[in-house]
Amino acid sequence: RVAVVGARGAVGREILNLLEERAFPLSELRLYSSARSAGRRVSFRGEELVFEELPESGDLQADIVFSSAGGSISRKHAWDWANAGATVIDNTSAWRLDDRVPLVVPEVNADAAREHNGIIANPNCSTIIALMALAPLHRAFGLQRATVATYQAVSGAGAAGVTELEQQSRAVLAGEPAETSVFQHVIAFNLFSHDSEVGEDGYNEEERKLLLESRKILAAPELRISATCVRVPVFRAHSEAIHAEFAQEVTPEMAREVLGAAAGVKLVDDPASNSFPMPITASGQDDVLVGRIRQDSSRPGSIALFVAGDQVRKGAALNAVQIAELFS
């Protein structure tokens, strides 16, 4: 028995698509949404399902709960759902760094999921996409330090972010003023520092997530990561430029061999045709694309690479469904 909380959102809808696409074994599916969406219907495996308003009782009558309705709802209800017997796979930031809750990327640390106490956390999208490339390299060579620059699509802010980019682009091309609502700044034909709170250390919340979540997932508390996270006018799929240092010297050939055999990774690395990972080709893909693999010219023995991944899919919904598949 499966429940999806936040089933009307971008990630919730993608979870529904994946449950159907991957023939997830379920006997019952319940969809929970806001009060304004309750009563609406959606087709799933040839049947019409009705969106329900989230009950206050804490019992969603489910064995697995996918929670994608926001951190405040998860903080209020997730342990109640777990105490009612569900395994909660939480796609919010509420529990990622909680010591009671495993933070899981199935290709990286699937065993951690089996030690859960009722809640399993889905990492942040930029963390998942980075670690799909960095974790195999870490296992092989011992990752010690990375600098990361992210290029994050507007769909990371949900369907409303996509709509805002589309509307602003039309307005700018028509010579009209671009109105802002979802983002603080105009995103059409622009880019800006990720729209999350900046701390006293100068790093924003998104950048801190990359550091702290990576340490937890890799069980590497001494790992050093410095990130710069940027919102760009791309509809879907995040990209990241990564420079990584290891406990031993690593050549591009060594890195390609490891990444070429890594689950969930697809090498797109053809300098002759200037073909490398792009968000437009990563969109809709399960795999994270990895390329531009080269020696870091500023530090011999280190590697520079570029990755692109669909943050709604692998960066959120697919990762959550893969976690559930560990128990199915």
What are the strands, taking DSSP E only, across 153-237? 192-193, 224-231
Catalytic residue among 125, 138, 194, 229: 125
At residue 17, φ and ψ (nearest 5 deg) are -60, -40
Catalytic site includes residue 125: yes
Catalytic site includes residue 238: yes
Which among 10, 4, 8, 5 is positioned nearest to 316, based on CA atoms? 10
Catalytic residue among 77, 116, 138, 238: 238
Place of tokens 């011999």: 300
- In whole angstroms, give the CA distance from residue 193 to residue 50: 39
Walk along the chain (328 residues) and give the pLDDT tens digit of each residue: 999 999 888 899 999 999 999 999 999 999 998 777 777 888 899 899 998 988 877 889 899 999 998 888 999 999 999 999 999 999 999 999 999 999 999 999 999 999 999 999 999 999 999 999 999 999 999 999 999 999 999 998 888 999 999 999 999 999 999 999 999 999 999 999 998 999 999 999 999 999 999 999 999 999 999 999 999 999 999 999 999 999 999 999 999 999 999 999 999 999 999 999 999 999 999 999 999 999 999 998 999 999 999 999 999 999 999 999 999 8
Q: What are the pLDDT digits (tens) for 7-19? A: 888 899 999 999 9
Place of tokens 């997530």: 209
- In whole angstroms, give the CA distance from residue 247 to residue 251: 13
For the chain, how many helices (H) and strands (E)? 9, 14
Q: Does residue 105 sit in helix, strand or coil? A: coil
What are the strands, taking DSSP E only, across the chain? 2-5, 29-33, 41-44, 47-53, 64-67, 87-90, 119-121, 143-152, 192-193, 224-231, 238-246, 265-267, 288-295, 303-309
User: Is 269 exposed, middle or buried, given 0-12, 13-18 or 19+ CB atoms closer than 10 A?
Assistant: buried
